[in-house]
Amino acid sequence: MSFRTIEWRDNTVIMIDQTRLPGEEIYNTYADYKDVAEAIRGMVIRGAPAIGVAAAMGIALGAREIIADTHESFFRQLENVCDVMARTRPTAVNLFWGIERMKRVAEANRDKKLDQIREILKNEAIRIEEEDQTICRNIGKWGATLIPAGATVLTHCNAGGLATAGYGTALGVIRAAHEAGKNIQVFADETRPWLQGARLTAWELMKEGIPTTLISDNMAGFFMQRGEITCCVVGADRIAANGDTANKIGTYSVAVLARENNIPFYVAAPVSTLDLSLSDGSRIPIEERPASEVTHIRGANIAPENIKVRNPSFDVTPARYISAIITENGIVSGDYCAGLRKIAGR
């Protein structure tokens, strides 16, 4: 990859500012955990796996900032750091997975000196980032087996290197198919209102030299009906026990159109995105974001003043529309309740 999404360097967190792409490739440096939390909330970094990494690194930063004479004081303040991270974005389960993993590691080393605990948390955050890259490459290897040679793949939003620690989930599948010489092409939905497909996915794929065509969200059905789409591959922010999947708003519409046109619809996500505590998608919390994201583009007003706006950031695709779920441990289809538990080792 020719860019880094997020990394720990010299006791700071470095992130590419995704709000500035594709016009500027700017890297921000964070030395305060509250600034990392704001970067997550403000979409400087986004995508479920990347958010999980950012939360872990934010907690590691926060641990370094804590001034405490006793373990009791340290762990009380660390809990507050974790709470700040948990309040950033409610839908992506990887955020909470990352927080809980850091909590468990801290608790498991409670008997050590505070400076040792701080160092252990830093190393764990780095380990999470490194693991994510391996996980995504394994997702890519499994998923590439589902992509036929010469395919045209439709993807929605950005589930690439920018949404992870570097390789991508849905785009990891596409990258792996491309690396295998399958001569594929990609249609990228623009993905309103943040335009992640237009700004981020298109930018990534062009850097990789993968032939890409940008379309607006409401064009997907047109190209499916004309037989120009072979399959769809998207990422996920949370997957319930029955396979219902929360992903960027508009994903559900793509899935319904794919079913109508007999086109396979695949979800690519790490096992950490599974939330087997939720029986179905109706229980997934859906983040609603500010009205200005819909009424304005790059600061320019495109709607009447004081118009009522709804801005859910995600929707839920029922499992019946999903042809298969691709994880680092393999591919699940059919009976998702049993298959997801098995692949997650439950």
- Determine whether 237 is an active site residue: yes
Question: What value does the mean pLDDT take over residues 258-280?
Answer: 97
pTM metric for this prediction: 0.93
State the Rg of the chain over Cα: 20
Average pLDDT of the residues of the chain: 96
What pLDDT does 92 receive? Answer: 87
What pLDDT does 298 receive? Answer: 86
- For the chain, give every domain's residue range: 6-136, 139-343
Count of CB atoms situated within 10 Å of the CB of 202:
21
Which residues make Cβ contacts (< 8 Å) with residue 214, sequence separation at least 6? 187, 188, 190, 197, 198, 202
Which of 132, 189, 217, 237 is labelled catalytic?
237
Q: What is the pLDDT of residues 41-94, one digit of tens each?
A: 999 999 999 999 999 999 999 999 999 999 999 999 999 999 999 999 999 899
The model's confidence at residue 3, banded by pLDDT at 50, 70 and 90, is confident
Please tell me whether residue 334 adopts helix, strand or coil conformation. coil
- Nearest-angstrom CA–CA distance, 243 and 292: 32
Concatenating the DSSP letter of every residue in 134-178 gives: HHHHHHHHHHHTTS-TT-EEEE-S--BGGGSSSSBSHHHHHHHHH
The yes-or-no verdict on residue 238 having pLDDT over 90 is yes
8 A C-beta contact, residue 1 and residue 172: no
- Nearest-angstrom CA–CA distance, 199 and 65: 35
The model's confidence at residue 2, banded by pLDDT at 50, 70 and 90, is confident
Query: To the nearest whole percent, how much of the chain has pLDDT over 70?
Result: 100
Yes or no: domain 6-136 corresponds to CATH 1.20.120.420: yes
What pLDDT does 1 receive? Answer: 59
In words, the CATH class of domain 139-343 is alpha beta
Look-up of token digits 């930063």: 61
Question: What value does the mean pLDDT take over residues 202-219?
Answer: 96
- Nearest-angstrom CA–CA distance, 270 and 207: 24
The yes-or-no verdict on residue 95 having pLDDT over 70 is yes
Query: To the nearest whole percent, how much of the chain has pLDDT over 90?
Result: 97
- Nearest-angstrom CA–CA distance, 35 and 29: 9
Which two structure tokens, joined as six digits, stand for 88?
């950033």
8 A C-beta contact, residue 158 and residue 191: yes
Q: Of 15, 9, 74, give the one whose Cα is nearest residue 42.
A: 15
Q: Residue 29: in which H helix or E strand, if any?
A: strand 27-30
Omega prior to 90 cis, within 30 of 0: no
The model's confidence at residue 346, banded by pLDDT at 50, 70 and 90, is confident
The model's confidence at residue 166, banded by pLDDT at 50, 70 and 90, is confident
Q: What is the pLDDT of residues 15-31, one digit of tens each?
A: 999 999 999 999 999 99
Q: What is the pLDDT of residues 291-344, one digit of tens each?
A: 999 999 988 999 999 999 999 999 999 999 999 999 999 999 999 999 999 999
DSSP code, position 288: B
